[in-house]
Structure 1
Amino acid sequence: MALPTSDTRVTYPDGALTSTGTVLHIEPRADGRAAVVLDETAFHPVDTAWPDQPADHGVLVSGSDEFEIRDAVTGVIHEGVLYLGRDLPVRGGTEGWIFVVAHIVDGPGPAVGDTVEIRVDGEYRRALSAGHTACHLASLALDAALADAWTKPVATDALGNPAFDALAIATSRIDANGSVDVYRIGKSLRKKGFTPATLDDLAAVELRANTLLEQWRSAGGAIRIERDAPELSARRTWVCELQGGRTDIPCGGTHLTDIHQLDQITVSLATNDIDGARELTMTTSTR
């Protein structure tokens, strides 16, 4: 079967929950399922560049047949070979490579050339979008709460505070209505000027972050995704008109359209000593 010759067009950055597309390729898998590639989709996949947000839930409808989408991953095509998910050998946007969304369904799936509809579970999408929006806000609030913990100039975040989140992040996971971010405070971060003793009073840091989050939530602020083009590999940026200034953060996920859509946002902090370093875990919750 011929492989697509152009990137998948994606509409989920604009908040779309449905889309109509043409089946361009079906890749049978060893587990009996099939990877279905369309020319256009509203379905958010696990993105290799930003793997923190899970794939959407939903179905692919072809005529009278409905296929549950078991998973969705990004893929790349080069010289007639399709690479999926963790097997991607290049970064997004690499010249000469085709970037696609692969919808994983129980085989054999629809047929190449079929016109199909994508229907995304709106409730689950909303919960993930709330969790992702809250994750960005929490990272900015944590940076601000730790702004006095630095003894040397370092890179700053979108609000001009020392970028603790970017410099210390080890893992990040978006959940429905929340997120979990783990930071490593080791030798390299101390050399950059971070003072670990600041974390000895976690309650104070937590209070500063939550106070700021409530100020932002109460004030509200429009949120949107800006992008250069509709293709999957196009650069996308989370833009929030936050109290105190506009923020621009590169992001491939989905989001709410205003901070006011959050009834509450709070973070809780915990530390743990591991391998000669300190690990800080921030759990963010929304409703």
Structure 2
Amino acid sequence: MSYPVEDTLVTYPAGALETEATVLHVEALPDGRLAVLLNATSVHPVDAGWPDQGADHAALRVEAVDIPVLDCIVGATDGTSLHLGRAIRVPKGTAGWAFVAVHIVADDAALAEGDRATVTVDAGFRARTSAGHTACHLASLALNLAVADRWKKEPRADALGSPDFDGTAIDVSLITENASTDTYRLGKSLRKKGFVTEGFDDALPALTEAINATLAAWVETDAAVHIDRDGDRLTDRRYWACALPGEPARIPCGGTHVSALGELGSVRVHLATSDVDGTSVLTMVTTVS
């Protein structure tokens, strides 16, 4: 079998919904479905290291036939074998390895190496997921601002200069259509870093009100959003950049986003705490409407 020796070119960071591509490799997976590698794609794949945003809904058009993309995940190859998702055993950028977007299609899909394919992404699903991801970043910054007075030590700063509670305490982040769910561990490790958890539950209503007020003010500015990128390959570093008033924000991010905050309409959060195996966990659900 032959495998690509370069990282996949990705066009989704620039907002592309359609890309012309060449099929480089087709391989049967253990579950019978096919893994398809292209030289370029507009499909956002699930990242192995931080799988917060899922794959786009998409199709590959080959010889006037639309082949549904059932999933798309990041893979890696050293030229002799293909490793998918969490089976990848080397970090991105490792010499001799190519990192690729692996398009999963049905076992009866009619395509072969060398075929030309038009990659088409569902625009509505992309827009709703992008709204959820942009709102997630805004909410994390607003949360950091709201709890900034709860630090006894000087933690690292976020993109706006506030103490980075989100980056310090985050456990799991999940981006969905017009929404996101982030969970934060409020345990011993966070307290050792200087965060005060006493009275946190009682403060939730005030924190929620403060975060939602900040979000409303930011959305009203209709600030521009774009993706800064070091290159067009899958492993090139990318950043979410937003021209927030007074302090433009820039956050490392490989996902997709809206082009202006006004596209979000209304963004609101709901905060709740729970006990998970003896550790207090904060859940922030962010919704766009």
Residue number in structure 2 paired with 1:183: 184
Task: Output the CA distance in 2 between the equivalents of 1:79 and 1:100.
Answer: 12
Taking the TM superposition and a 5 Å limit, the aligned residue runs for 1:1-287 are 1-109=1-109, 110-200=111-201, 201-287=203-289
- Taking structure 2 as the reference length, the TM-score comes to 0.97
Q: Deviations over 1:47-97 (max 9, x none)?
A: 123310010001111013221100000110114111011211122222321
Query: Is contact 1:50–1:251 with CA below 8 Å preserved after alignment?
Result: no
User: What one-letter code is carried by the residue in structure 2 that aligns with 1:205?
Assistant: L
* Structure 1 segments unaligned to the other structure (5+ residues): none
Query: Is contact 1:143–1:162 with CA below 8 Å preserved after alignment?
Result: yes
The alignment's C-alpha RMSD in Å is 1.0
Give SS of 1:217's match: helix
Task: Output the CA distance in 1 between the equivalents of 2:180 and 2:20.
Answer: 31
User: What one-letter code is carried by the residue in structure 2 that aligns with 1:253?
Assistant: G
Task: Output the CA distance in 2 between the equivalents of 1:96 and 1:198.
Answer: 52
Query: Is contact 1:49–1:92 with CA below 8 Å preserved after alignment?
Result: no
User: What one-letter code is carried by the residue in structure 2 that aligns with 1:164?
Assistant: F
Task: Output the CA distance in 1 between the equivalents of 2:280 and 2:246.
Answer: 31
Task: Output the CA distance in 1 between the equivalents of 2:150 and 2:246.
Answer: 21
Query: Is contact 1:49–1:91 with CA below 8 Å preserved after alignment?
Result: no
Task: Output the CA distance in 1 between the equivalents of 2:124 and 2:64.
Answer: 24
Q: Deviations over 1:175-199 (max 9, x none)?
A: 1001000000101111111111252
Q: Deviations over 1:217-256 (max 9, x none)?
A: 0112111111111110101111111123111100010000
Task: Output the CA distance in 2 between the equivalents of 1:92 and 1:250.
Answer: 15
Measured after TM superposition, the shift of residue 108 of structure 1 is 4.3
Query: Is contact 2:5–2:79 with CA below 8 Å preserved after alignment?
Result: no
Task: Output the CA distance in 2 between the equivalents of 1:231 and 1:95.
Answer: 15
Give SS of 1:113's match: coil
User: What one-letter code is carried by the residue in structure 2 that aligns with 1:90?
Assistant: V
Q: Which moved more, 1:170-179 or 1:192-201?
A: 192-201
* Structure 2 segments unaligned to the other structure (5+ residues): none
User: What one-letter code is carried by the residue in structure 2 that aligns with 1:144?
Assistant: L
Q: How many residues align?
A: 287
User: What one-letter code is carried by the residue in structure 2 that aligns with 1:269?
Assistant: L
Task: Output the CA distance in 2 between the equivalents of 1:106 and 1:115.
Answer: 18
Query: Is contact 2:4–2:79 with CA below 8 Å preserved after alignment?
Result: no
User: Hey, which bits of structure 1, 4+ residues long, moved more than 3 A?
Assistant: none
Query: Is contact 1:28–1:108 with CA below 8 Å preserved after alignment?
Result: no
